Amino acid sequence: MMTLYYAGPSPFARKVLVAAHELGIQSQINPVVASVSPVGQNPAVASANPLAKIPTLVLENGQALFDSRVIVDYFDSLTDRCLVPESGPARWRVLTEQAQADGMADASLLARYESALRPEALRWSEWETGQMDKVHRSLDAFEASARSAGDDLTIADIAVGSALGYLDFRFAELDWRKDHPGLAAFYAALSYRPSWIATDPKS
Ligand SMILES: N[C@@H](CCC(=O)N[C@@H](CS)C(=O)NCC(=O)O)C(=O)O
């Protein structure tokens, strides 16, 4: 059994958990909730991963795998179904979109740390605005491209969905659906998938 350190609200952890469900290997994973923070690190996670971040996967032989993209690649290697196209332009598009979606999640997470964690006297509002600008530009860019929430979904679709789910969870006031009807329709369709329901941080 593999051990996955994760937390329900983490968009990166959700991405790997959804990937595991979609690949049908979730029963091989023992998910262990780990609370992490850039200040005050989690000892169990830090002993497996010097970065002390989640998700971190520990294999049966004790080897630790991180970050989320490496974990997804590992899961992908365990089955015949591929969440990343094996070659050609589609491969590079999907990997770049995954990186963009992860970057959108990273930027919103950093903005959240700034407002929820950093002492008020040390805050820098331009920096927070700069992070949220990355989120807004990414939303606009993703709105312009078609996404699948069907059985052919890729890791890019899962990563975009995970980043949007995080915005719902932590930035509801942003109301990203208002100016992004295409993404809203994509997310609504994704929300019916068993992998999505099983990993909902609100349940
Ligand atoms: N690039 C990493 C990002 C992981 C990440 O930032 N995780 C957050 C939780 S959502 C974390 O562990 N934060 C604790 C910290 O920054 O020390 C990945 O894709 O796995």
* pLDDT confidence tier of residue 201, bands split at 50, 70 and 90: confident
Each residue of 88-105: pLDDT tens digit? Answer: 999 999 999 999 999 999
Quick one: fold of 88-194? Glutathione S-transferase Yfyf (Class Pi); Chain A, domain 2 (1.20.1050)
Write down how long the chain is: 203
Model confidence at 203: pLDDT above 80: no
Q: For 86, which DSSP code?
A: S
pTM: 0.96
* pLDDT confidence tier of residue 202, bands split at 50, 70 and 90: confident
Q: Between 3.40.30.10, 3.40.50.620, 3.40.1160.10, 2.40.37.10, what CATH number should domain 2-78 receive?
A: 3.40.30.10
Mutate which of 10, 53, 117, 166 for ligand 1 pocket (most atoms within 8 A of beta carbon): 53
Q: What is the C-alpha separation between 112 and 97, in angstroms, rounded?
A: 22
What's the whole-number mean pLDDT along residues 198-203? 84
Mutate which of 54, 74, 102 for ligand 1 pocket (most atoms within 8 A of beta carbon): 54
> Considering only CA atoms, which of 116, 90, 106, 85 is closest in space to residue 159?
106
Each residue of 13-37: pLDDT tens digit? Answer: 999 999 999 999 999 999 999 999 9
Relative to beta strand 56-58, strand 29-33 is: unpaired
Each residue of 56-75: pLDDT tens digit? Answer: 999 999 999 999 999 999 99
**51 within 8 A of 36, measured Cβ to Cβ:** no
Residues of each domain in the chain carrying CATH 3.40.30.10: 2-78
Each residue of 119-178: pLDDT tens digit? Answer: 999 999 999 999 999 999 999 999 998 898 998 999 999 999 999 999 999 999 999 999
What is the whole-number distance in angstroms between the Cα of residue 28 and the centre of ligand 1?
23
**14 within 8 A of 162, measured Cβ to Cβ:** yes
**Among the residues of 117-146, which ranges form H helices?**
125-143
Three-state DSSP class for residue 58: strand
